Chains A and B, each alone.
Chain A
Amino acid sequence: MKIRDIEFYITNPGNRNYTFLRVLTDEGVTGVGAPYNVGPDNGVLGALEDMKEWFIGQDPTRIEWLMRRAKNTMRFVLGNISYAALSGIEIALWDILGKSKGLPVHALLGGNVRDKVRAYHGLGGDTPEELKENALKLMEEGYTAFKMSPFPAGVVGSKQFSPSDYRASKQYYVPVWQNLPWNDVIRLSSERLAAVRDAVGTGPEIAIDIHAVFRDAVKANQLVRELSQYRLLFYEEPVTPHNLTTTARLRGELNAPLATGECLYSIQTFAQLMELGAVDIIQPDVLICGGILEMKKMSSIAEMHYVTVAPHNPIGLISTAASVHLAANIPNFKILEFHSDQKQLSAMYAKNVWVPKNGYFDLPEEPGLGMEIDFDRVKATPPGTWHRGFPTDSQGAPAFM
């Protein structure tokens, strides 16, 4: 079997851009994959265009060889664009392998360790009351684990504009909490957590996503110490992981479980993260971390450090499918991210819809990934302008988002 071509299409269903790709073979087997939506997505398309020549004519079952060869020929340590492009292709190669062997991907990785895959649901709400209401709705759907932003929501200067409106217009915006006295941020965050804990009761698990917004690590320390009273499933990305020793320092100071990894790629970086004792739960994203095999390897390294794996999955679709296969297989799987906007996305682009039932995904049984993308729909829906915007702090300086 030989790779005949790699096709890729970018599309925007109304919120952000998504890129889908397919790897075609001379035997008619086709694999689907997707790179992460990094922001400058034309860069990813350009990378795919350059890289596809390295794959055409090659045996798609030589996954390790194809990936190592591609990485090595780039010489410099790969960045997020190259890693997103390669991850997308790698996933498609596993889809091809599974289809050609008649086995679901999890069966190729050593089989399913578990019968179903637990998911946590993103939990939004501008006010404590909204959070409460949304949490109760999700409980009714069967979810028992949630992840929320601890920060008071909204944008300074406008009641009509939401942060996403500002992002769409590429304007500068000031998240509300950036403009508040720090003690008020902690107090309001605590009120948000208190409301959710009160609504869901003592059993369900609540994670918080700090989303690497702090310039100074000690703020994360203060916030997590305050919020730990509500018993956290984990606190995610307390600081930007550009210096892993800072993350390690925080984990050493705090008792709640630290989760991080969505901004990182390659087993070497994850090995370093764990060697530093910087993490309790790794959160690689299969669309950017290097793909299925690289994530399996990270999970193996994590096993040796008594670290668990909660795959990052905000994009959904291919990411959900690949993550469910991995989650079914790896012994140290923790929980998988899920957001309800993925339902609409699935309905639009996928021929079959993957959503948790009673808080769990069923295991896929079809060969390969088991997810078929409607490429006609993808091609018929053009990409849009998408941008994360430019958050600033109260003094107008660039802030983290």
Chain B
Amino acid sequence: MKITNIECYVLKGARGKIKGDNSSTSVRNTILVKTFTDNDIYGIGEAFCVGPDSATLHWVKYFEEQLIGQDPRRIEYLWARMYQGARIPPGSSGMAALSAIEMTLWDILGKSVNSPVYELLGGQFRDRVRGYDGAGGNTPEELCEAIQKAIDRGLTAIKTSPLPSNFRSLLWNDALAAAEERMKLVREKFGYSFDVALDTHAAIFEPSKTLEIEETVRQYKPLFIEDPIRMENYQAMADLRKKFQVPLATGECTFTKWQTGQLISLKAVDIFNPDICMVGGMLELKKIAANAEGNDLSIAPHNPMGPVATMVNIHFAFSTPNFVILEHRGPTDIEKNIVINTPETKDGHFSLPQGAGWGIDLNMEFLKDYISSDYWHREEYFLEDGTPAHI
């Protein structure tokens, strides 16, 4: 079997509730990749939406040149050729493209032997996979409404920000008070048997401030606090983790297994959340999980992307011993139309994937209306004095 060509589709608006919806999350791009072979079998993958997604598309075309004519089942070999061919380690757009291509190869391998991918990765390790979704809300009341909706969907865990979205313009002590109010009301309304993870989204520059958040919310027993500080300095993360009582989660901003290895060596993490659409794909995430397992750490994949990424993560989660919980966004109707067999939780859990490969397909007829060459810009934030803030 040989690879004949690789296509990449940058989609705009697939995350929207309806076509043409222009709210900020709706216009986040979805980047899908399809690898074709001379054997009628093709594979599907998804790249992380890094912002300048046309760059990702060009990376895919760049890698395609190396891959045409190659046996798609030689995944380690092709991965090494792509990664090492870049010489200077690729950054976010290159790794996003490489991740998506790698996923397409597993889909092809699975389909070629009529087997779900998890079965080729050590087999089914658990009966169901627990999922959590994000829950927003600026006020404690709005947050509780969002959580109620998640509970109504059957979820048993959510993730939210500990701070209101305007925290950058608040006096810090007021922001801390707001954090306390949010968690207090959530626990009053929903008790402690529902898991609430907190994500400060690497938006806080000072470790001492994020420690104050942790001290404020620890009595409300969050599941973990994610990216409490920036991720450029792993030693700072390690220093912070020693002082945390709440489990510290990080990893979504790592590009490679080597970076995650350093986080482990420095004892900078309790719960890993690398993103399969960024760290190089399935086998790389399996390697990261193996290192975490060898060091008695667990893994909760970061997954804010679409149904393809979610399905790939589900295969990972079903086969990996130290997996704990999977992030996902409840799919939009548009996404459900684009991805055939879009996975959804039932009673808060995903069930075992059926069919060969990932067990999903793309509806090309529907998808083509969303192809776009636009960038996606995140909302920017500024401090009171006009200083650009972290997002």
Report which A residues bind B (CB closer than 8 A). Answer: 59, 61-66, 68, 97, 101-103, 107-114, 267-268, 270-272, 275, 293, 296-298, 300-301, 303-305, 329-331
Contact = CB atoms under 8 A, between A and B. Distances in A.
Contacts of A272: 294
Contact of B291 (A68, A103, A271): A271
Contacts of B75: 110-111
B321 A64 contact: yes
Interface stretch (B57-65, B91-99, B112-120, B191-199): B112-120
Interface string B62-84: 00000000010111111110000
A113 B76 contact: yes
Contacts of A267: 290, 293-294
A347 B115 CA distance: 35
A296 B126 CA distance: 21
Interface in B102-123: 109, 113, 115, 119-123
B349 interface: no
A103 B77 CA distance: 17
A197 to B, nearest CB: 33
B257 A65 contact: no
Interface stretch (B205-213, B241-249, B258-266): B258-266
Nearest to A60: B123
B174 interface: no
Contact of A329 (B76, B287, B319, B321): B76
B124 A111 contact: no
B295 interface: yes
Contacts of A113: 74, 76-77, 80
A300 B257 contact: yes
9 contacts: A59-B124, A66-B123, A110-B79, A111-B76, A111-B77, A272-B294, A296-B290, A297-B287, A297-B294
A268 B296 CA distance: 8
Contact of A271 (B119, B121, B294): B294
Given A111-B71, A303-B257, A63 B290 contact: no
B74 A275 contact: no
Contacts of A61: 119, 123-124
A272 B113 CA distance: 37
Given A111-B75, A268-B295, A270-B294, 17 more contacts: A59-B123, A59-B124, A64-B125, A64-B320, A64-B321, A65-B124, A97-B119, A101-B120, A110-B75, A110-B283, A111-B71, A113-B74, A113-B80, A297-B293, A300-B291, A303-B287, A331-B80
Contacts of B261: 301, 304-305
A109 B282 CA distance: 12
Nearest to A107: B73
A101 B115 contact: yes
B192 to A, nearest CB: 28
A62 B320 CA distance: 11
Contacts of A296: 290
Interface string B227-265: 000000000000000000000000000000110110011
A300 B257 CA distance: 9
A388 B265 CA distance: 39
Interface in B258-303: 258, 260-261, 264-265, 283, 286-287, 290-291, 293-296
9 shortest interchain CB distances as A-B pairs: A271-B294, A304-B261, A64-B122, A297-B290, A300-B287, A111-B74, A62-B123, A267-B294, A110-B76
Interface of B: 71, 73-80, 109, 113, 115, 119-126, 257-258, 260-261, 264-265, 283, 286-287, 290-291, 293-296, 319-321
Contacts of B321: 64, 68
Contacts, number: 101
Interface of B is mostly: helix
Q: Taking chain A's interface residues, is the majority helix, strand, or loop, or is none over half, making it mixed? A: helix
A267 to B, nearest CB: 4
A108 B294 CA distance: 22
Given A301-B291, A304-B258, A305-B261, A64 B123 contact: yes
Nearest to B256: A304
A64 B290 CA distance: 12
A209 to B, nearest CB: 26
B319 A112 contact: no
A112 B320 CA distance: 22
B123 A102 contact: no
A89 to B, nearest CB: 14
Given A112-B74, A113-B76, A304 B260 contact: yes
Contacts of B119: 61, 97
B161 to A, nearest CB: 32
Contacts of A301: 261, 287, 290-291, 294
A284 to B, nearest CB: 12
Q: Which of B80, B290, B296 has the most CB of A within 10 A?
A: B290
Nearest to A293: B122
Given A111-B73, A271-B295, A102 B113 contact: yes
Contacts of B320: 64
A65 B125 contact: yes
A300 B73 CA distance: 19
Given A293-B122, A300-B287, A331 B76 contact: yes
Contacts of B120: 97, 101, 108
A330 B287 CA distance: 11
A64 B250 CA distance: 25
B76 A330 contact: yes
B290 A112 contact: no
A304 B291 contact: yes
Nearest to B106: A110
A107 B261 CA distance: 26
Contact of A103 (B79, B80, B113, B122): B113
Contacts of B71: 111
A65 B294 contact: no
A64 B286 CA distance: 12
A271 B290 CA distance: 9
Nearest to A301: B291
A300 B290 contact: yes
